[in-house]
Structure 1
Amino acid sequence: MTETIRLGDVVTVERGTTYKSALLGQPGPVLLGLGTIQRHGGFRSDSLRTYGGESPEKLLVRPGQLYASLKDVTQTADLLGAVAMVPAGGPTGRLTQDTVRLDLKSSAVDVEYLYWILRTQQYREYCRSHATGTTTMGLPRDDFFAFEFPAPTTPRRVLVDLLGALDDKIAANAKAVRLLLDLADAHFASAVRKANFEHLTFKDVADVGGGGTPRTNIEEYWGGDIAWATPTDVTALAAPYLKRTSRMITGEGFSACASALYPAGSILMTSRATIGAFAIAQVPTAVNQGFIVVNAKEARHQWWLFHEMKSRVQEFLSFANGATFPELPRGRFKDLKVRLTSQERMDSFGDLVGTTHAAAATITAESERLAATRDEVLPLLMSSNVRVRDAVNSLEGAL
């Protein structure tokens, strides 16, 4: 019979506190809020912000320590109970009112083993099944502590080591992608110095479109093979390459949707609530009403427009309106003038940066495959009879 451990017998939690937004960006630890945890778990470093306010020791999370979210503001509950580990060599963080630090109080498990247990699908489903609330989802502390999992064994420790190696490869890939994206941005910053605002606008140089949502209560519209993007699909990306969407629509759903089927390579910019998150569609994609979609009339200028748009997000925000949430009107966007330089310079830029983005997209796709392998293997940790051979076979060829 498999020995089990109750989570509350091996960990305690330290809850974070609120912070003063006026002190964001000042020297201090980084804030570890919901935005620093990936959906379903894992550390997210692309939006870290330092905090110069009060940060007592009890609120700090140091490299190698775990923290989690016991709440979520979405009905999908992807962040409910989700855990992250501050990476080795990473910054010291400060908890917020939305996160808790997990402190071991028993030698029955180590940090790495607990981290991967809390990344399993079984744990994620447990959190969803014990969620409370409607608008904001919560995981009661007693239910969190009541979760039971198998005690460590040699096969499970081998599996944890292999999962760690897999995550290290994904992290190395993420670093390489960030360097490539920074390089592309640097090339644009250099090229745009010789550009000027011409009389041409976005509608003059590009086809600009939007999208819509099929009726959600018609079952025949959903679960098809057509990608249908929402802003959440884009904001969840680690790199701006959208290959799949969380929801798919059928041909009937597409016919009832006020969206074109935009070709691969289209620029998707979120324009409602969150303004200025970007993705390049990797497959033909329809979108909901939260996007402005851009395709250069001269395809060789697509990368120029992508970086031009990215560099002007603050300007776009200044044109946003809306009582409930900010929205950048598509008509206003179309009328904005575009910075252009000589055809030769823009063509040269497109060739150079296109190659850079192609390399970044390839690495991103590899990381997605590695993550899929990891997610397929994770349930073995909760299996009652996992063997070393099972663990090794499951990851063979992935590393």
Structure 2
Amino acid sequence: MKNNWQMRKLSGVCTVIAGQSPEGKFYNNHSDGLPFYQGKKEFTEKFIGVPTVWTTKVTKEANAGDILMSVRAPVGPVNFATEKVCMGRGLAAIRATKMIDKDFLFYFFQHFENKIIGNAGAVFNSISKAQIENIEIPLPTSEEQKRIVAILDKVFADIGKAKENAQKNLQNACDLFESYLNNLFLDLNKGSKPKKLEIVCDIVGGGTPSKDNSVFYSGDIFWATVRDMRDDVILNTECKITPEAVKSSSTNIIPKGNVVIATRVGLGKICFLSQDTAINQDLRGIIPKNLNQLSTYYLFWWFKNIAKVIEENGIGATVKGVKLPFIKNLEIPLPSIHEQKAIVKKLDELSEQTKKLEEIYQQKLDNLEELKKSILKKAFDGEL
């Protein structure tokens, strides 16, 4: 930090206003009253997004130009308010005085957010008004603040464009694969007579052993729920059960190498099984009756293609799901097993290429974020 910069507590250069939530009965979604923000859900890169909730009873206000800070996990992210709003307990407003440029203050908080998270990645659960007021900020002259802001505006605009391009390329890579997958199965549907899934597959349900018996959950048999469906292959499960647990419940063990789909909660998800795995009631095992007629790998890609169809057909007030008859009546195109294998080979290759592209663009996005952090550090160390 430069010698002529002063260290000042935020309480000396800002006004901090802690949020307070009105009672829920005053909320609405038809623009009556002030926009209400509870936390960082609507945060963007810089300016808070369009409101979805309004309140007719205002507790704590923020003005246009105030900096809104997320004060509950995650602590630290900031956005500018673009109009007068009501804040809930998850936010605090920081209002700059004439002593400090509000954009300089905004950039400081972006820099400070990295300190809140810490080197080990441990995140604070919350930060109080008093703690915010006690944060110390390096304060150069007004002219120096404006000079630093001008540099950061220019550099971050360039970084923003680079991020936008990388995100666009990342999305294009995903869209291109999905488009190929969709068109492939559209052509297959036109070229061959599909069969109902129940004709070519056994559809096996699951269940949950009694949670009251802890011994049931001390075994070594994989027992899968939607929580275990994080990737294309289930390599492990959070819970493992005993043979007695299987016998005493409606769970079923699906042989390894087969696929399971989520028919409730994570509707549309599909995974291969790396081990013989028992499943709960939210999953279904889909087992081809004749592997000379239907390849499991082809079945996997077909389910990937219709995932959105399954999701769109979910019913339920809170948790959406699809019933067994819906799954049974799904129609799958069945080209020859030789053609299925050729399709799988092509899709596997394209999927691998897409993943490599995704990794490249994601790494570029990560590098740009690190560059932002590095530039912010230089700015507040007085090295710009």
> What TM-score results when the alignment is normalised by the length of structure 1?
0.50
- Contact 1:30–1:92 (8 Å) recurs in 2: no
Instruction: Give runs of aligned pairs for residues 265-280 of structure 1, distance below 5 A.
Output: 272=265, 275-276=266-267
Counterpart residue number, 2:309: 311
* Whole-Å separation in 1 of the counterparts to 2:202 and 2:138: 59
Q: What RMSD in Å do the two structures reach over aligned CA positions?
A: 6.6
Q: Which amino acid aligns with 2:162?
A: K
Instruction: Say if 2:159 is the partner of 1:171.
Output: no
Which of 104, 129, 139 is 1:141 aligned to? 129
Matched residue SS, 1:4: strand
* Whole-Å separation in 1 of the counterparts to 2:36 and 2:179: 25
What does the per-residue CA deviation read over 1:276-314, in whole Å, with 9 as the maximum and x for residues that have no partner? 486999xx9x9x989869899442454432231133214
Matched residue SS, 1:343: coil
Counterpart residue number, 2:197: 200
- Contact 2:67–2:94 (8 Å) recurs in 1: yes
Distance 1:82 1:12, change over 3 A: same
- Contact 1:150–1:382 (8 Å) recurs in 2: no
Counterpart residue number, 1:69: 70
Counterpart residue number, 1:83: 78
Matched residue SS, 2:69: strand
* Whole-Å separation in 2 of the counterparts to 1:114 and 1:310: 43
Shift of 1:147: 2.2
* Whole-Å separation in 2 of the counterparts to 1:333 and 1:373: 48
Distance 1:172 1:310, change over 3 A: same
- Contact 1:83–1:118 (8 Å) recurs in 2: no
What does the per-residue CA deviation read over 1:56-107, in whole Å, with 9 as the maximum and x for residues that have no partner? 9x77879xx8543222xxxxx4x13333579xxxx99977634455554322
What does the per-residue CA deviation read over 1:131-180, in whole Å, with 9 as the maximum and x for residues that have no partner? 4xxxxxx4322223322244578998778866664454333222333344
Distance 1:366 1:202, change over 3 A: farther
Instruction: Give runs of aligned pairs for residues 117-128 of structure 1, distance below 5 A.
Output: 117-120=111-114, 122-125=115-118
Shift of 1:6: 3.2
Counterpart residue number, 1:6: 9
- Same amino acid, percent of matched pairs: 8
* Whole-Å separation in 1 of the counterparts to 2:344 and 2:356: 18
* Whole-Å separation in 2 of the counterparts to 1:200 and 1:102: 59
Counterpart residue number, 2:221: none
Shift of 1:200: 0.6
Matched residue SS, 1:366: helix
* Whole-Å separation in 2 of the counterparts to 1:167 and 1:307: 33
Distance 1:315 1:186, change over 3 A: same
* Whole-Å separation in 2 of the counterparts to 1:44 and 1:210: 47
Distance 1:202 1:342, change over 3 A: closer
Q: Which amino acid aligns with 2:9?
A: R
Q: Which amino acid aligns with 2:129?
A: R
Instruction: Say if 2:358 is the partner of 1:364.
Output: yes
Shift of 1:268: 8.6
Shift of 1:316: 3.5
- Contact 2:195–2:331 (8 Å) recurs in 1: yes
Distance 1:169 1:181, change over 3 A: same
- Contact 1:197–1:340 (8 Å) recurs in 2: yes
Shift of 1:366: 2.8
Distance 1:69 1:387, change over 3 A: closer
Distance 1:181 1:376, change over 3 A: closer
Matched residue SS, 1:51: coil
Instruction: Give runs of aligned pairs for residues 152-191 of structure 1, distance below 5 A.
Output: 165-166=158-159, 168-182=161-175
* Whole-Å separation in 2 of the counterparts to 1:385 and 1:50: 33
Structure 1: any 5+ residue segments left out of the alignment?
72-76, 132-137, 212-227, 235-240, 392-399
- Contact 2:262–2:283 (8 Å) recurs in 1: yes
Q: Which amino acid aligns with 2:169?
A: A
Shift of 1:328: 5.5
- Contact 2:42–2:51 (8 Å) recurs in 1: no
- Contact 1:149–1:382 (8 Å) recurs in 2: no
Counterpart residue number, 1:238: none
- Contact 2:166–2:364 (8 Å) recurs in 1: no
Q: Which amino acid aligns with 2:165?
A: A
- Contact 2:138–2:380 (8 Å) recurs in 1: no
Shift of 1:360: 5.2
What does the per-residue CA deviation read over 1:101-124, in whole Å, with 9 as the maximum and x for residues that have no partner? 55543227526623531431x122
Count of matched residue pairs: 322
Instruction: Say if 2:335 is the partner of 1:343.
Output: yes
Q: Which amino acid aligns with 1:309?
A: A
What does the per-residue CA deviation read over 1:249-285, in whole Å, with 9 as the maximum and x for residues that have no partner? 9xxx98968999x99xx9996954xx3486999xx9x
